[in-house]
Amino acid sequence: MQSPAEQPPLEDKDLRSIQEVRRLVARAYEAQKAFEKLPQSRVDEIVARMAAAALAQSERLAALAVEETGYGNPRDKHLKNSFVARNVADYIRPLRTMGVISEDAVRRVTEIAVPMGVVAAIIPSTNPTSTAIFKCLISLKAGNGVVLSPHPAAARCILESARACHTAAVEAGAPEGIIGCMSAPTLEATQELMRHRRVAVILATGGSGLVKAAYSSGKPAYGVGPGNVPSYIDRSANVAKAVKDVITGKTFDNGTLCSSEQSVIVDRPVEAEAAAHFKRLLAHFLADDERARLEAVAIGPNRSLNPQVVGKSAAWIAEKAGIAVPAGTKVLVVRLEGVGREHPLSCEKLSPILGYYVVDGWQQGCARCKEILAYGGMGHTLSIHATDAEIVRQFGLEKPAFRICVNTPATHGSIGLSTALAPSMTLGCGTYGNNITTDNITPLHLIQVKRVAWEMTEFFPSWMHDQEQPARAGVVSVPVTEIVDAYLAARAMGRGPRPKPAGNPAPPASNPAPAEPAPSAAAPPEPSRPSSPPAEPRAPRQEKPSRPLPKPVEFVCEQDVRTAIQARETIHVDSRTIITPAARDLGDSHSIFKSSNS
C-alpha cells in the first residue's frame, strides 16, 4: 500500500487506476495462455495450495475485513473464509474442467473443456475476503486468469486475499500475473475492466446498479441480484427449531449475506409459541413508537436502506435509534402489516432487523412470501419450516425463488453449508432477478465445452438416391455383377422366371397348316398315294401343370427395385417382406411388386 504522501493527486486517481487495470489484464491474459496448457492434475494441485493458504490466513483476513469495513464480526467472517477454503475447495476438487471431461461410448460424443480466458471479478464490501477467495479458486480451477475489482470500502482486505491466493498459486507452478487485483479502485477503472477487450466474462457480486452495468458491458456476465428473503413458519413446524434457525441465519455476520432472513411469517396457531421462543433467544419486539424511530435511522429518504446500518449489531442500531433494549439483544423484531414503500422495513435490511408477520394458514403465508420477494428479492432465496410435505411441495411449485431451504437457516442453506446445494458465495436469481442463471455459481460456469460427435445415422439428400450409396458400416459389400450372375444361374436351373424370347416373333395363324418340307432337287417326286380312310379324331392335348409362384423375398431396398425395373421383372412380396420407404415409393410408381397371394 502507498503511504498518504505517495498517493496520486485526486485528479489523476481515475487515470492511474485505469492504467493499472490495463496492465493487470494484459498480465493475466498472457499468464492464462500458458496456464490453460497445464493438465488437470497440475491445476488441481495449484488450486489446493491456494485453498490451503487462504485457510491458513482466514482469521487474519477476517479481522482485517471487519477493521476496514465495520461490517459483521471477525468470528463469522472467519467461518465464511473457512467455508470457502474447505467446503468449496472440497466440492470443486473432483470436477473435471481441463481437457477431455467426458466420453460417451454409446452416443460417440466426446466433450472437451475450454477455459473462457480472463475473468473480471467484482467483489462487494459485505463479504469481501470470502468472495475474493471464492472467485480466485473457481476461476483458476476452470483454467482462467482473474482480475479483481474491489469495492473501495474494502480494497485493502480484498487485495490481501488476492495476494495470498496469487503467492500460493505461483509457488505451486502457476505463471506470474494469473491473479490480479486493483490497488486503488475507482468507478472508471471498474468500467474499463468490464469493457476490456481481453476480458472474456464478468463475475459480478454487488448492488443492482453494478449488476446492471455488468450486463450492459457487452461481455458475457454472471450477475447476482439482491435477496429480500422471507421465512415461513407453518403450524406443522417444529416451532422451537424453526425460531432457532431464523435467529441463527439472521444474526450470522450481522446479516450481511444477501440470503439471510429479512422477514418471518408465522402461522397464527403457533404465533404465541413462536414469539415466546424469539424472546427467549434475545430478540426484542419493538413498540409502535420504537418502530418509527428505527425507520428514521435504518431507511433513507428514498425509502432504501441506509448503508450505515449494514452489518452493524442490534445493540449498535438500537442505540443510534434511541431505543432502549435489554443487554445482549441479538435481533430487533418489527411487527408489520404490509409490504412495499408504505412499509419501509419490509425491504432487504442486511442487518439484525427482522420483519414479523402473522397469517391464517399456509395459503396466506404463501401470498405474503410472494409480496416480500417481489419487493426486492425476486428469484433469490426463501425458507420454509414445516413437517407437512405437501405444503413444502406447494411452496416449491409456487414461489418465485430458486432456492427453497427447508427446516434450516436460509443463510446457511442457500450457500450449501447446511444443505447439499453446490457450495458457493455467488447465487444466481434467474430471469426473475434479471440474472442469466438460477445456479449457485461453480467452476463449471466458467468453462466452455466443445463436442466431438461421430456419425450415428447415415444421411443422403434426395438428389443422391440415383447414385450408388456407399456400403453401410458393418455390412459386407458384394459387387453387382456377382449378384446378377448368381440370379441368372438360379433362373437357368428353374428357380426363377424364364427369360422372354428375344425379338418380336410374328403371332401364329388362327388355323395353322402343317408345315411341309421344301422339295429337294436331288429327291425324285413322290408317287401319288391311294386315298386313305379318314383319320381318327385326335385325343385332346394335355395341359402342363402350372408353375408355382416364386417364393416371396424377405427384404427389398431401392437398388433391388431399380434392378427389377431394368430387367422388366416383378418382385414377389408378402406381409412379412421388409420394404424400405424409398423402395416402396419407387416400386409402387412402376407397379413392380406382386403379392404372393395374387
Q: What angle do CA 92, 98, 101 make, to 5 degrees?
A: 85
The kind and range of the H/E element at 195 are helix 187-195
Cα(96)–Cα(102) distance, integer angstroms = 8
Torsion of CA 494, 497, 502, 504, to 10 degrees: 130
E strand residue ranges, 318-423: 331-335, 353-359, 379-385, 401-406
Residue 234: all three cell numbers together = 407453518
**Max Cα-Cα span within the chain:** 161
Q: Would you call 340 helix, strand, or coil by DSSP? A: strand
Residues 153/125, Cβ–Cβ less than 8 Å: yes
The owner of cell 434475545 is: 282
Burial class (CB in 10 A: 0-12, 13-18, 19+), 162: buried
Q: Which of 413, 410, 409, 382 is nearest to 396 (CA)?
A: 382
Long-range contacts formed by 510-518: CB under 8 A, 24+ apart: none
CA dihedral sign, ordered 384, 329, 262, 291: positive
Q: Would the CA dihedral through 562, 567, 569, 575 be positive or negative?
A: negative
Q: Give the whole-angstrom CA distance, residue 372 versus residue 353.
A: 15
CA dist., res. 247 & res. 277, Å (int): 10
Burial level of 450, CB count in 10 A (0-12/13-18/19+)? exposed
Q: Assess whether 136 carries a catalytic annotation.
A: no
Residues 6+ apart with CB under 8 A from 24: 147, 177, 180, 181, 182
Strand ranges in 76-194 using DSSP code E only, listed in sequence order: 99-104, 109-115, 118-123, 145-150, 179-181
Q: Is 587 left (phi over 0), alpha (psi -120 to 50) or beta?
A: alpha
At 20, the amino acid letter reads E
Concatenated DSSP letters of 463-521:
GGTTSPPPPPTT-----HHHHHHHHHHHIIIIISPPPPPSS-PPPPPSSPPPP-PPPPS
H/E segment holding residue 10:
helix 10-35
What's 149's DSSP letter? Answer: E
AA identity, residue 94: P
The active-site residue, picked from 258, 347, 405, 429, is 258
The CA distance from 360 to 368, in Å, is: 11
Contact assessment for residue 382 and residue 369, using Cβ atoms and an 8 Å cutoff = yes
Q: How far apart are CA 83 and CA 162, in angstroms?
A: 17
Q: Which residues are catalytic?
A: 258
